[in-house]
């Protein structure tokens, strides 16, 4: 079944990213997890004012771009 699922990225505040990432990995779905300890919920919406938010969005962009290049 994992061959039908795309690689996933989970990036969340605190350690919230670890549970869904572990579930994806358990289902043999390639997953990248990024946790931002101490960041508030939906912190990504505060970019560029919050450094962690900007970093998170940059990581998402890098993830998407690297996978788009693999497909192209």
User: 8 vs 18, 39, 51, 53, CA distance in Å?
Assistant: 13, 21, 23, 19
Using DSSP's 3-state secondary structure scheme, residue 45 falls into helix
pTM value is 0.75
At 2, is the pLDDT very low, low, confident or very high (cuts 50, 70, 90)?
very low
User: Which tokens hold the place of 38?
Assistant: 């101490």
- pLDDT tens-digit map of 15-49: 666 888 889 899 999 998 888 888 888 899 999 99
Could you identify the residue written with the tokens 């998170």?
56
Domain boundaries, the chain: 2-71
Question: Per DSSP, what are the bridge partners of residue 31?
Answer: 8
């Amino acid at each position: 079944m994992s061959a039908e699922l795309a690689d996933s990225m989970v990036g969340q505040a605190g350690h919230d990213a670890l549970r869904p990432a572990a579930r994806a990995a358990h289902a043999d779905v390639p997953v990248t997890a990024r946790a931002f300890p101490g960041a508030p919920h939906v912190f990504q919406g505060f970019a560029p004012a919050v450094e962690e938010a900007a970093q998170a969005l940059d990581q998402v962009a890098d993830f998407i771009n690297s996978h788009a290049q693999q497909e192209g």
